Structure 1
């Protein structure tokens, strides 16, 4: 073969790397690998200037193998160009060092060592199945001519040189294809990721996927636009920005403003539209679910408030109705004169009337704790603790709260002390109510034998009441005692 073939092959290799770098810069997402390809192409041509006279020729000749450094770098760090571990970083640094020192780069043993190291590091990083062609091409480029020089006669040198050039051409094509394809893979991964965790910011995720930090996503809302939070916004129509519509089923629902280069591929635009449509639909579903949940919470709170009002009305009716009439009956019986043997019957009737009136008053007080109205939450809980059969310490640091909240907190304390008295065999207990922002936390703790059952009817009903206000009730019980705790929003 004549020298023309070697010249063409040499020009083809350098041009392939330079053009590859330009293509990756234009259509890929990673700028660093594009620069590495361009650096490899530039250093390839510099090495060809070794025939120049003087210092320039010497410097150019020393750069003959310099292109191997950026190629090793690109191969080991696909697709980002950034080392993912210390092992890869060390291999990249060593590759640059060997390629920069011509005597080392010319050494057959060193060259074979670099090829073996490339394969070993790639396998260690478990990337062989993903990037097998770039790794195989560079390994063949390094090992093939070296083995030929060691094992074959000098007449095979020309074939070895063409083998080297051919492997590098394959490497250039493989790197360019991998780096441009990586952006499509990233956007495809984005679509899958949003389906699994759609709460992440679509704009941020898309910006990372296509490599445009200034990317903007807006949605159509009437005659204007809104962002992902629903806030009014406008399209960025600045210089050097492109506006791409997002449509689904022929209907435009949003726009993306971006660098003209990052979404030039229609396949990418379709993938991005799918991701945006998915996120938009999910956001609407989440908003509907949250709205319905809010309606349910409000309805349950209204039920609790209605129950309080109904108990208050029954209390008033019992106090003003049957209780008052029984008190009048008692007064009439007191006015009956002594009548011999009938006097005992009058006394019995009087006592019965008093007992029934007392029972009705107790029932009325049970329907709605009178102490809450008379003394407030702190006073009512203190009275409750004072009536317990064991010493109970009380700590209350709660701001003013709505009536349904204070009544629920009171009933938590009452149920806790009732369980202590009935089951705990405790020597002492404590009640603590504290305000935590827009919530109140209450705890009833005893030092008894434990064993409280959260499935009991009293605690189940109490849990329903707490949950109706949007709170939570928990019971923790072991041999050292029981802790009944509730967390209730104040609604403010």
Structure 2
């Protein structure tokens, strides 16, 4: 059984390498072709060995990275750097088309290297600026390299190529014989490469300074490459400033730089395979989930952190199948597809939790996946606790509304009891006194008639006071005819002219009652404290809210207290408390000398 398991594991490893076998063949072919052209240009055995070592080191590292981390594009760039390394050697062939291809793409490997530096180790550019630099590098080679190739005559100036081959060529792209123009284009082309190199370096410095210690350790391979690139820049500057004064130093520098570059892809690969950056980024996720991100945001963060753009985070609740951020079911991955599923359970019962569908290679780093699982569990617990807290908050906000609703119902009942009970009896008594006064003869005792008249007048006043009391408890017209009629009746009793603009329609009783007493208190404040000469009342629906505004032309200067214990009158405090009790919001705008605007938004749901 152990031999079978070992054989099965070995088979899986071979299956992982089979897709890159054509890559290996292509790398061997590119290296062989490049060495052939380099040899035709006059390169010796040592030159061929170091040239092949650098190109194949990048290609092999790219293939290993592609197998071990297939979701990460860094492996593709390493491989591309290995192949483009040999492109300039095509200038050694006497075939015009091959020479033209080599002359045009001589610096393509530098553009690929810049791309690699800017996206390592995530495999994709993190900012718009980085993406623009990548595009600029390839555009410089595509456009600038083509223009340079159109003007390049190797027979007239063989030193313009790093091969320095007097017998190379001819150039199939050579169209314009203008040596002066070629020299100018060549200088601009080289200095544009210098500028791009400096910009890439500055971007690396910014990333280094913004990174954590763990991220900086992972970025060390890119800094090795940056150092080598800067050495190329220095070499280009020296070559441009003093091409005749370097003597044989150029060969020494070339050998040292090429030999040192063999280590660059190896260091890149080692940093990529360690996945330390992934673990450091997972640590950053702990801070992110603390602000309660949504399902889709968490999935996007995991995709970026793990370098797997196809990662799916499925959340299940109540025993249902896991669903993605769009509510679609997340099917289990098919085993041969190179993907795997990690099931995450939390302490909410067997029917809850989440699943992570990810690239199978990520499962090789058990510490990384353990950290990711804990982050997702933390997010699930935080989401559940926040949902419970929101539910409790909703219930707590509903309590004052229910209490206020009950209070209003009691006020309406009390108003009806007063109207149907005490007011009715007092009215009957008043009518009885009127009949008694009518039946008293002219010769009746004047003192008796005076007493009856005083009793009638006192009863009238008591009846009016009782009606006002009942109206203050709950206006009968509000329940019968609605808010518009009630506010109109209220405006008619105000000693100051009041304009009422109320949209038709009925709202919940608690909302209408709150709006009525809000306007009533605001009118009283405007007359008593603001010395207003004119008042406007507006009531209109706004979505799920009823907006109530009371605007006067008084002295202004009113303001809501910052807290309940603030000094000052209780009028605005009472309004704010009344509106808050139904879940609404009250605002007061009252510049001195410009009147007061009181606005309340009352939820009707």
Structure 2 length-normalised TM: 0.69
The Cα offsets for residues 175-234 of structure 1, whole Å up to 9 and x where unpaired, read as: 446666555555444333222452463223323433444432123435443437796845
Shift, 1:265, TM fit: 2.9
Higher mean alpha-carbon deviation, 352-361 vs 279-288, is at 352-361
The 1:9–1:232 alpha-carbon spacing in structure 2 relative to 1, beyond 3 Å, is closer
Q: Distance in 1 between matches of 2:424 and 2:207?
A: 92
* Superposition pairs of residues 101-250 of structure 1, within 5 angstroms: 106=162, 114-115=193-194, 118-119=197-198, 122-123=201-202, 126-127=205-206, 129=208, 132-143=223-234, 153-154=247-248, 159-176=252-269, 183-184=278-279, 186-196=281-291, 198-199=293-294, 201=296, 202-221=298-317, 223-227=319-323, 233-238=329-334, 240=337, 241-246=339-344
- Write the distance in 2 (CA, Å) between the matches of 1:373 and 1:327: 22
Task: Provide closer, same or farther for how the CA distance between residues 115 and 327 of structure 1 changes in structure 2, counting only shifts above 3 A.
Answer: closer
How far 1:484 moved relative to its partner? 0.9
- Change over 3 Å in CA distance of 1:359–1:23 after alignment to 2: farther
Aligned pair partner of 1:418 in 524, 535, 542? 524
- Residues 441 and 485 of structure 1 are in contact (CA less than 8 Å); yes or no, is this contact kept in structure 2? yes
Q: Does 1:40 align with 2:81?
A: yes
Moved more, 132-141 or 476-485: 132-141
Alignment correspondent of 1:369: 475
Could you tell me how far 1:362 is from its partner in structure 2? 1.6
Specify the SS of the correspondent of 2:360: coil
For residues 160 and 439 of structure 1, the distance between their equivalents in structure 2, rounded to whole angstroms, comes to 77
User: What is the CA distance between 1:65 and its match in structure 2?
Assistant: 4.5
CA contact (8 A) 1:28 1:183 kept: no
Aligned to 2:110: 68
Match of residue 140 from structure 2 = 94
Distance 2:501 2:343 in 1: 61
Measured after TM superposition, the shift of residue 254 of structure 1 is 1.9
- 1:178-327 equivalent positions in 2, closer than 5 A: 183-184=278-279, 186-196=281-291, 198-199=293-294, 201=296, 202-221=298-317, 223-227=319-323, 233-238=329-334, 240=337, 241-246=339-344, 253-261=353-361, 264-327=364-427
Q: Deviations over 1:222-264 (max 9, x none)?
A: 5443437796845343462421223569x99321113334554
Tell me, in whole angstroms, the C-alpha distance in 2 between the residues paired with 1:126 and 1:480.
57
Give the TM-score, by structure 1 length.
0.83
**Aligned CA distance change for structure 1 residues 138 and 55 (closer, same or farther; 3 Å):** same
Residues paired across the two proteins, number = 488
Gaps of 5+ in 1: none
Structure 2 CA distance for aligned equivalents of residues 112 and 170 of structure 1:
27
Report Cα offsets for 1:28-74 as digits up to 9, x if no partner.
7553x544332221122344455545346635653555422322343
Q: Give the 3 Å change call, closer, same or farther, for CA 57–349 of structure 1 in structure 2.
A: closer
Name the CA shift for 1:23/1:396 in 2 (closer, same or farther; >3 Å): farther
Take 1:323 and 1:83, find their aligned partners in 2: how far apart are those partners?
Answer: 79
Q: RMSD in angstroms over aligned alpha carbons?
A: 3.8
> In structure 2, do the counterparts of structure 1 residues 197 and 258 end up closer, same or farther at CA, with 3 Å as the change threshold?
same
Query: Is contact 2:194-2:233 (8 Å) kept?
Result: yes
- Which shifted more, 385-394 or 275-284? 385-394
**Structure 2 gap ranges (5+):** 1-42, 150-158, 163-182, 210-221, 562-568
